[in-house]
Structure 1
Amino acid sequence: MVTAPAPARPPTAVRVTPSAVLLTLAGVLFVVYPVVRPQGDATSAGAAAAFSSPAWVVAHLAAVAGFVLVGLAMRSFGRAAEITWWVGAGLVLPYYGAEVFALHVLGQRMAGEQLMEVAEAVRLGPAAAVVFVAGLVALAVAGVLVAVRKGAAGVPFAIAMVGFLPQFFADPEIRIAHGVLLGIGLVLLARRTLRR
């Protein structure tokens, strides 16, 4: 007895969601951030060149846009993650504004030890430091909430968000690797938001 072959299954259509687009763009921007960012600001000799460079502005604005784009996509990952992300982003973005605009202008007008002292006061003033760290903690919590909700696909994103604060104290290569990990994590999450 000859049986007819089973009918071929039609290909599954994939619909790209707005969240997938936003997360993918954010992933690219979070890779751009450490790759484009001038790394010479750790020394007084390199700080003026780093701060005054147009690449300094581009890199930090890429991170700012990345935080906003992830926030716009967070609805896909639950209310708690969305609210926690926006609280964290709201606390972190003023610090990035100081990095983008204040340090850029200071780098154009100052040099040497005086620049380093003023830059340290901008970055590590008590209010700035507390608000920035609180924001990064909230973003880390949001990352963990996403991983809890999305499982394995959310783990790289959660690891990158938990590691966001420590990477600031690492060498440039580690900071770039962190940006790549975050980018990969966001692309994996973007794939989870595709609709079949």
Structure 2
Amino acid sequence: MTFDAPSPILTRLAATSLVIGGVLFALYQFVRPFTDTAETMASTAWLASHLFAIGAFTLITLGLSWLPQTLRGTLGHRSAISAVIVSVLGIGLTLPYYGAETFMLRFVSQHALDTGDRSVVALADTLHTDIVATGLFAVGLLLLGAAAVLAAGAVTKSGHASVWSAAPFALGFVLLLPQFFTPQPIRMVHGVLLTAGCVLVARTLVRAGRTTSRATNEPVPV
């Protein structure tokens, strides 16, 4: 059985998505205000940083979606498929919470500043303590961590990357949930770690695409 070679253009686009997504996540950690007051939640920095996070998760998931194609014919192919499926489920549960933080809290905070009624800012605490909202968010982050571990395992088993070069990507996503309970400097370091992981996986994606292109007529293991 033969398979088509991955498109070099799409492979580079996927790799670029991973790199940009990693950079956006670091920007999210560096730009985000770390005090949840009416002034900070109504600020441009609050809006921009959360949009960076939404863009980061979207672009990273988009980049991973091309991983199975580049790992066709390797031992990492099936793990790559699993990584894509789990990452889509994870982002589906994660982004609604970010949407609420990005827009609802900003609109509520702006209303508080305009009217002087600071009581409405308590809605922020309602969002942060709601069991359904935070529960789905936590599950989404855990799924993204699992997807990253699967992706790291896929590129390692494929022979296109070592365990050490794939580890930062997996570790960055596994720490997604715990890092929310750490101070700002640690969260910034986490953002840099995740960026580095995305760059390494992007490099592996390009390298794997080139190798697979040279092996288009080799049989695919089943």
TM-score (norm 2): 0.75
Distance 1:17 1:31 in 2: 21
1:20 aligns with 2:15: yes
Distance 2:120 2:148 in 1: 35
- How far did 1:120 drift? 1.1
Q: Which has the larger radius of gyration?
A: 1
Query: Taking every aligned residue pair, what percent have the same amino acid on both sides?
Result: 39
Amino acid at match of 2:48: V
Residue 193 of structure 1 aligns with which residue?
Answer: 205
Residue 119 of structure 2 aligns with which residue?
Answer: 114
CA RMSD of aligned residues (A): 1.9
1:164 aligns with 2:167: no
- How far did 1:116 drift? 5.1
Residue 81 of structure 2 aligns with which residue?
Answer: 79
- How far did 1:115 drift? 4.7
Tell me, yes or no, if the aligned pair for 1:52 and 1:105 is still in contact at 8 Å: yes
Runs of 5+ consecutive residues of structure 1 not aligned to the other structure: 1-13, 42-46
> 1:75-129 deviations in whole A, cap 9, x for unaligned?
3151100010010000000000001001111221227973553111112211101
Equivalent pairs counted in the alignment come to 178
Question: Could you tell me which of 21, 26, 30 is aligned with 1:35?
Answer: 30
- How far did 1:19 drift? 1.5
- 1:88-103 correspondence runs (5 A): 88-103=90-105
Residue 75 of structure 2 aligns with which residue?
Answer: none
> 1:17-71 deviations in whole A, cap 9, x for unaligned?
2211111111110111011111122xxxxx1121011111111111101111111
Distance 2:100 2:91 in 1: 14
Residues 187, 102 of structure 1: alpha-carbon distance in 2 compared, 3 angstrom cutoff: same
- How far did 1:146 drift? 1.2
Question: Could you tell me which of 114, 121, 144 is aligned with 1:139?
Answer: 144
Distance 2:197 2:121 in 1: 34
Amino acid at match of 2:57: F
